[in-house]
Amino acid sequence: MTRTQILSALIAAAPLAGCAMPAPQSASPSAATPQEAFWQALSSHCGKAYAGGLASTDARDADWAGKRMVAHWAACDEARVAIAFHVADPEAPAGWNRSRTWIVTRSGEGAATRFTLKHDHRHDDGEADAVTFYGGTSTDAGNAGAQDFPVDGESVALFTREGLDASLTNVWRVEVDPAAQADARFVYQLTRRNDPTRLFRVEFDASTPIAAPPAAWGW
């Protein structure tokens, strides 16, 4: 084969060799941080309300047992989710205690994101309770389905002032599944670092929305 024939053969084969090369792979998107996934799950329920009840059996919460409860995502924006907690109570106006709202806010970005849980307690005239806006801030990334909130210094000072010494080591927890999940749940829980027997836990069926209740007191 002449030199010219060899060059012609190599040129003809070049496109075929190019076709045999694997196509470049695009970079896979980075997975969402646990904080991002948690916030997406929490926010997916905005505007919805769910029925629930007491799931723990601590004797200290006997007055809560068997009562109907509703969690209502009453207000949401990019940095705050407010969930009104309604409890059936025959002694309250219109048969419902609407005094409590859980407020979850986020700050920071990416892996540095942290969440704060505060409890807004009001009277039926909308005035703030003497014990209100207490809570804590997450101290780590948590996970996509749950975040823990150890009591903060501001709340410790409030509890001390009000003589609520049992609450000085509170740790609150919020657990949530995305609204699209078939068996989605929402959970609010309280434990105490100095009392391993303390457990207050309410669970809601977050897969089946119900009619939204009236606004929480003061909202």
Q: What is the pLDDT of residues 44-72, one digit of tens each?
A: 999 999 999 999 999 999 999 999 999 99
Can you tell me whether residue 8 is helix, strand or coil? helix
- Return the residue matching tokens 């060799």: 17
Nearest to 126 by CA among 1, 187, 197, 215: 215
For the whole model, what pTM was predicted? 0.85
Return the number of other C-beta atoms located less than 10 Å from residue 201's C-beta: 17
pLDDT tens, residue by residue, 124-173: 999 999 999 999 999 999 999 999 999 999 999 999 999 999 999 999 99
Q: How confident is the model at residue 24 (pLDDT cuts 50, 70, 90)?
A: very low
Nearest to 184 by CA among 53, 3, 44, 77: 44
